[in-house]
Structure 1
Amino acid sequence: MSTDPETHPHVGCSIGADGRITFDLPPGSPEGQRLLLGLRPKKGQPEETVHVLDFEPAGERRCAVLDAHPVLAEGRWDVYLLPEPGAERQRVRAGLRDLRALVDGHRRHRPSPVAVRIPYMTKDGHLAVRAWLRTTHVEAEAVDVTGRSMTVRARLHGVSLQEGAVVSLGLRGAGATARTVEPRAEDEGRSLSFTVDYAELAGGTPSGAGVWDVFVRPAAQAPRIRVGRLLDDLADRKEIVVYPTADVGGAALRPYYTVDNDLSVEVGANA
């Protein structure tokens, strides 16, 4: 596999609201090339899952289409070019990415399973696709913070609120340690809002520092669903969407998005 960034071809892409991705080569690119998407394996493990696509003429360009089905497994998919049969594959540099169809994706209801794809540029400039595949999903549409609390407005996909529904905050690494909040149901149970009191979280963090992960249990006996923000054009939110820190009783609290774009609240000592 070629590792010289100067020799890597540029490939652009556009995505539709249904998740269909069209990859395009620059004008004048040679015929016979194919596109390969490889699911990035865990560290130390071999690559096992790939999709190979053919490029077809499209005016002056050549395009390869990844249809919405079958859905992609959850993870990060690296994009490569196969110049010709038997040739070494080449990592692809990110060209123009048209993600306009994803910007308001949180407004559209998604049936189960909830399948998400976001093309993005890696830190070293390569093209990749981030994919999520969830049976159900709770999308955080807005997080409003004050010096004492945070209020979250969210929409449920693939499920709706039923009797006995609660919002659950679990202290990471502390087993059954949890706090529950009563949700305010809207839109016939398809949307909700809830407010988390920072003082209660700070008081429930035994060591004075920890992370609370946010879930919704949509019915009394239902499995918990992680709250996150997946349905727009941001593949990685953690360093982009930053909420202010509140000082409560000697503790510093702030909501944040994890590396998986899930919503959590960090509790730490007040500097």
Structure 2
Amino acid sequence: MKKDIKHIRKSINDRKKLRGIPSKTDRGKVSTIMPSLPQEEEKHGFYPNFIDPSASNQSRSNAITGVILKGIFSVMLFFSIAIIWQNDAEIFEKPRQWTSNVLTEEFPFASVYQWYKDSFGTPLSFIPGNDSKVVEEAALALPVSGSVIETFQANGKGIMIAPNETTSVSALREGVVIFSGKKSDTNKTVVVQHADESTTTYGFMSSIDVHLYQIVDANQRIGEFTPTEASEMVYFAIEKNNEYVDPVQVVEVDDNP
């Protein structure tokens, strides 16, 4: 019986020592808890993640739900447009016209920009930074200085201007660039949309200094033209309400209000 009691007491003292609690047999000795040594993962910069995994799972679930909802709405929109176009009922006539305009017409960037200026008085920049140079000369009658070699009556779309030397190509009026690149018929080309929903096209340029959706001022340099044997003329056209307008007539009206 005494042996059993001693054995139990010894076991209790051993457990206290393991837990760092001083026992009666230590006689004033103080036991301390040694700090745990860093694990192998901690030595290499890896630390346990204490973030609740349920939170990240919830955000991931919300993202997936959002994608699914967008997909459902896209499918619904697609089938709604298909029904409108396949049905000849009179009630669908106006929705058909609206969807046709939205899908075929260019968004009126210049009109929105003009409305923003009139409403808030501060120019709106779609893309920050405008490093293009503004032509500091007097307002040009045409985008480049030169002689009109081919008139509007010759092709029904635009005019061909022949500069005698390297010259800057300038925007006729303030607007937003809706095309900047190469076209099959006019090579390096810039198309500028204006607030009155007209567009001006500048083709056969040697270099382009503006980018898509950039806001340009009246007479601002948009590129350069250098006459060569292969390209001696600059193409210039004005289009409004899906019809081409004689640029010379428009310029004359602008110069003589």
TM-score over 0.5 (shorter chain): no
TM-score tier, shorter chain, comes to under 0.3
- Specify the structure having the higher radius of gyration (Cα): 2
TM-score by structure 1 length?
Answer: 0.24
Higher helix share: 2
**TM-score, normalised via structure 2 length:** 0.24
